[in-house]
């Protein structure tokens, strides 16, 4: 997922991926609850990064809702720098840690 620097504005190059995610969610209503998690790298204030990651997750939820996913199926959470995939401080680590993840929280039982 790509965003404008220090903003929650989704860049157009992310739309195709988000459209695919929306399509999967619209077609698979048994995925009844999905958490959109925002993550940042560790540069800057942890508090500001937590806020930014929350706003980015909310932007992704709003986009998915705009593509037909029911809002009650989605939740947005921002973790900022608190859950890095790579604890390093290299540019590659920063790139890896700036991400949005989709977590299936609840599935409706049935065939």
CATH of the domain at 60: 3.30.1330.60
Residue 4 lies in a domain: no
The DSSP bridge partners found for residue 88 are none
pLDDT less than 50: residues of the chain: none
Residue 81 lies in a domain: yes
Which burial class, exposed, middle or buried, applies to 89 when counting CB atoms under 10 A from its CB (0-12, 13-18, 19+)? exposed
- pLDDT value at position 110? 75
Which burial class, exposed, middle or buried, applies to 32 when counting CB atoms under 10 A from its CB (0-12, 13-18, 19+)? middle
Give the range of the structural domain holding residue 20, as residue numbers without chain letter. Answer: 12-107
The total of structural domains in the chain comes to 1
- pLDDT value at position 6? 94
Residue 5 lies in a domain: no
Residue 6 lies in a domain: no
User: In 10 A of CB 33, how many CB atoms?
Assistant: 14
Enter the tokens of residue 33: 């609850």
């Amino acid at each position: 997922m790509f965003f404008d620097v220090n903003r929650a504005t989704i860049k157009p190059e992310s739309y195709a991926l988000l459209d695919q995610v929306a399509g999967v969610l619209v077609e698979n209503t048994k995925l009844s609850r999905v958490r959109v998690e925002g993550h940042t790298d560790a540069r800057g204030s942890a508090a500001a990064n937590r806020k930014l990651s929350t706003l980015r997750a909310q932007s992704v939820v709003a986009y998915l809702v705009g593509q037909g996913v029911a809002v009650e199926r989605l939740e947005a959470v921002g973790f900022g720098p608190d859950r890095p995939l790579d604890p390093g401080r290299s540019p590659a680590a920063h790139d890896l840690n700036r991400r949005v993840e989709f977590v299936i929280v609840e599935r409706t039982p049935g065939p």
